[in-house]
Structure 1
Amino acid sequence: MESGKEKTVGNYIDLFSGCGGFSLGLGKAGWKGVFAVEKDPMAFDTFKHNLIDGKYNHFNWPTWLPQRSTTIQDLLENYPQELASLKGKVDLIAGGPPCQGFSLAGRRNSEDPRNKLSEEYMKMVEIVSPKYLVLENVRGFNSKFRDSKGEREKQPYSMVVKARLEKLGYQIFTDYLHSEHYGVPQKRTRFIMIGIRSDLLSKEINPFQILASLRLDFLDKKKLSHTPVSVQSAISDLETSKYQLIYHSGSQINGFKQIDYKPPRRLNAYQKLMREGLKSTKPNSLRIARHRPETIEKFKTILALCQPGKGLSDEHKKIIGTKKQVISVLNPKEPSRTLTTLPDDLLHYSEPRILTVRENARIQSFPDDYVFKGKYTTGGSRRTQECPRYTQVGNAVPPFLGEVLGLLLEKLYMGSY
């Protein structure tokens, strides 16, 4: 396993794993993977490249399960006996069902079929009966919906899930977690649900108090400040103005460019973490967006008008001639706003462009040698069917968050709290 860690805590299954942010963090905290479930081929390619075949491998993948993209429904239908044989042998089920239907940023719909994936999650829990559960989702998972008639439903969907899991024999704890408190240079608030099988509880505990007590030690071990990491600290060494731009892909004249990255002599504490042990290795996914001249001019106007860290006002939108609901410029002195799957929601703090996939990955706390696979973006109707690189990174659990949750679960697992 990466970083020469010899300790092993317990084992886990990652459901809805995406490109692997949660698993990367759990692996760094000493957990061993059994298998992961991800339906999108591009996201699973990224996962497999890094966490099964690559440097960050910590999976003991079962021979009965092909190492490819799949769904929980497929597992339930095709491998019922194999899953049943895992009962009592898995310590943790991690992962949060896809959250688009719950997102406060989008159209929230209680009947969104993606919300039903929580049902499949619970079916897996029932069959495997792990000791612990950790479920991560957007804040909206814990907010009330309006139904198709526009009436507010009685309780948020998270409480439906909580009640179902309690019936399965788990004590459930919930709270919000702020990524920027754990070294992630991003204001990303997430709803966390932790389940402990009732037969393992011998005394009253509050996992979130234990988690809060781990924070300063976690930051100290990372050699990070106790104050949030700014977005400029995270990505300043990736600014295009500091490098020659070289060919990336497409036609030689009009194709995509990337920076010819050479690590500066002096890296700050966060950049050192992202580049630990890499020396002069270039990260992948440095492709710069190919903006039209008029788009660049529009972005320059936005940079001049927009208060960093705030969204464009309606007045500014009229001046610029955009109806886009969400667009803002990063504040270099603060953590980033929450990344989304749409790359043009956020503009660079000093350059008239959107961020590269690698800059987004830095903001999510992925190390520079974590390789992203697949297309960069997907347009039109394919957007809801495919998971290109920008979407993979935007949807990911920040690895630092996965790691600190892994450390909390270790405390619970070892009874050392």
Structure 2
Amino acid sequence: MKHKLIDLFSGCGGMTLGFVHPDYCGRFESVFALDNDQAAVNSYIANFGDHAVCDDIEKWTSGELAERIPAADIVIGGPPCQGFSLLNKKRKGDGRRSLWEPYMDIVALSGARVFVIENVQGLLRADEKRQIEKRAKTLGFETTSALLNSADYGAPQTRKRAFIIGWKMSEVEAVSFPPEPTHSANPERTGLPRWRTVADMIADLPAPQEFEIRDVPAPLNLHFRRNPTAKSLKRYKAVPPGGNRFDLQRNAPEITPPCWIRKTSGGTDLFGRLWWDRPSVTIRTEFFKPEKGRYLHPEQHRPITHREAARLMGFPDHFVFTGTKIEVARQIGNAVPPDMAAAVARAVADVLEMRARRAA
């Protein structure tokens, strides 16, 4: 039997994919998911079934809706990370910081034996981490936490994320965490397969021709380009392989934004090209804007496409995304890389099954 899973703040289901799909962990079954983004929920339903709901999580912690929370072995999810993010300059007092509270309410309502919270690095330094651990203890959970690099677990992206794992001390053996890496930046030293690279994931794709999502088979349905201005195209061409905004300034100062010229430090990824032989940088929700990060194609004079971004997150081509271009980009950028989720899933599944084996 597979372990029953609830995914809160599920997005399109990148984390669920890592837990439930046989190509990843495959030892879990999704029974309920909740998110407040309708397009993301539609994607979740398209991939995992019609048990996902678009709603405010706080409505599901009391009354009639609370009674509809199904029993589950595990609750996973990432309360919105903007409240902890260093990119949020006004993060102190951000209401989104408290969404872990209804998350923990649903952990209790579901009778889960394990929970997994995923978030940005800032969570591990935040007061909320201690509050989560305190609430977990009152519910009978022991906790541990770690910072994981998704590239260490087979994702083609150096995305660093914080995880808090909780387990019912009376029902589950201690979780061995963090999981052992499956890939390495130094395979000669570790004996592990090397990190997966940009070339591994997107080198086979042809140059994109269209400008919109198309009703054609994957991968070309999401493999479309932007329509840059003449000035933007000149800027792209001024950035050499591996380069960034400083190369643009050296090679074409006349078309470099004045604010970049005035800012002589920081932002080394802005207007940068991805490297063929490395994993991608963190894919965010506006990866189609090279001024937001290192999102230019390694060779072609354009930003990466939605399909390329999805592959660099670790999504297989068969994964279904629904919505507009902006909505799909948001789903991709907000997702948990499925390969990293799978590593966590395997560690959790091992301890969930240990007690059953001993009882048998």
TM-score w.r.t. the length of structure 2 is 0.83
Q: CA, structure 1 residues 316+372, in 2 after alignment: closer, same or farther (shift >3 Å)?
A: farther
What is the match of residue 208 of structure 1? 177
**Greater shift in the superposed pair: 179-188 or 398-407:** 398-407
What is the match of residue 408 of structure 1? 347
Mapped pair 1:340 → 2:284: yes
Q: CA, structure 1 residues 177+108, in 2 after alignment: closer, same or farther (shift >3 Å)?
A: farther
Q: CA, structure 1 residues 352+315, in 2 after alignment: closer, same or farther (shift >3 Å)?
A: closer
The aligned amino acid for 2:201 is: A
What is the match of residue 199 of structure 2? 232
CA distance in 1, matches of 2:6, 2:224: 33
CA distance in 2, matches of 1:46, 1:260: 16
What is the match of residue 129 of structure 2? 158
What is the match of residue 291 of structure 1? 228
Q: Which runs of 5+ in 2 are unaligned?
A: 184-191, 261-266
8 A Cα contact 1:170 1:197, kept in partner = yes
CA distance in 2, matches of 1:258, 1:17: 23
CA distance in 2, matches of 1:259, 1:129: 43
CA distance in 1, matches of 2:336, 2:231: 35
The aligned amino acid for 2:168 is: R
What is the match of residue 367 of structure 1? 316
The aligned amino acid for 1:80 is: A
1:150-229 equivalence runs, <5 A: 156-201=127-172, 205=174, 207-208=176-177, 211-212=179-180, 215=182, 226-229=193-196
Please give the per-residue CA displacement for 1:307-329, whole angstroms capped at 9, x wherever unaligned. 44x67489669932254755122
What is the match of residue 57 of structure 1? none
Q: CA, structure 1 residues 314+282, in 2 after alignment: closer, same or farther (shift >3 Å)?
A: closer
8 A Cα contact 1:229 1:335, kept in partner = yes
Please give the per-residue CA displacement for 1:18-52, whole angstroms capped at 9, x wherever unaligned. 01101111112220111100111111111111221
Please give the per-residue CA displacement for 1:208-259, whole angstroms capped at 9, x wherever unaligned. 15x217x37xxxxxxxx7110111221111241xx7x3xx4xxxxxxx2689
What is the match of residue 148 of structure 1? none
Q: CA, structure 1 residues 16+316, in 2 after alignment: closer, same or farther (shift >3 Å)?
A: farther
1:294-373 equivalence runs, <5 A: 294-301=231-238, 303-304=239-240, 307-308=242-243, 312=246, 319=253, 320-321=256-257, 323=259, 327=270, 328-343=272-287, 344=289, 345=293, 346-373=295-322
What is the match of residue 58 of structure 2? 73
CA distance in 2, matches of 1:230, 1:208: 26
Q: CA, structure 1 residues 353+258, in 2 after alignment: closer, same or farther (shift >3 Å)?
A: farther
How far residue 10 of structure 1 moved from its aligned partner, in angstroms, is 0.7
The alignment covers a number of residue pairs equal to: 329
8 A Cα contact 1:19 1:47, kept in partner = yes
8 A Cα contact 1:27 1:33, kept in partner = yes
Q: How many percent identity over aligned positions?
A: 27
Q: CA, structure 1 residues 285+82, in 2 after alignment: closer, same or farther (shift >3 Å)?
A: same
TM-score w.r.t. the length of structure 1 is 0.72
CA distance in 1, matches of 2:37, 2:342: 24
Q: CA, structure 1 residues 313+137, in 2 after alignment: closer, same or farther (shift >3 Å)?
A: farther
1:100-119 equivalence runs, <5 A: 100-107=82-89, 109-119=91-101
Q: CA, structure 1 residues 108+401, in 2 after alignment: closer, same or farther (shift >3 Å)?
A: farther
1:30-41 equivalence runs, <5 A: 30-41=27-38
The aligned amino acid for 2:313 is: Q
1:237 aligned counterpart, secondary structure: coil
8 A Cα contact 2:222 2:307, kept in partner = yes
Q: CA, structure 1 residues 312+260, in 2 after alignment: closer, same or farther (shift >3 Å)?
A: farther
Q: 1:46 aligns with which of 24, 31, 43?
A: 43
Q: CA, structure 1 residues 48+312, in 2 after alignment: closer, same or farther (shift >3 Å)?
A: farther
CA distance in 1, matches of 2:131, 2:42: 33
What is the match of residue 6 of structure 2? 13
Mapped pair 1:97 → 2:82: no
How far residue 260 of structure 1 moved from its aligned partner, in angstroms, is 12
CA distance in 1, matches of 2:93, 2:248: 31
Q: CA, structure 1 residues 137+300, in 2 after alignment: closer, same or farther (shift >3 Å)?
A: same
8 A Cα contact 2:285 2:329, kept in partner = yes
CA distance in 2, matches of 1:236, 1:347: 14
The aligned amino acid for 2:28 is: W
2:284 aligned counterpart, secondary structure: coil
The aligned amino acid for 2:110 is: V
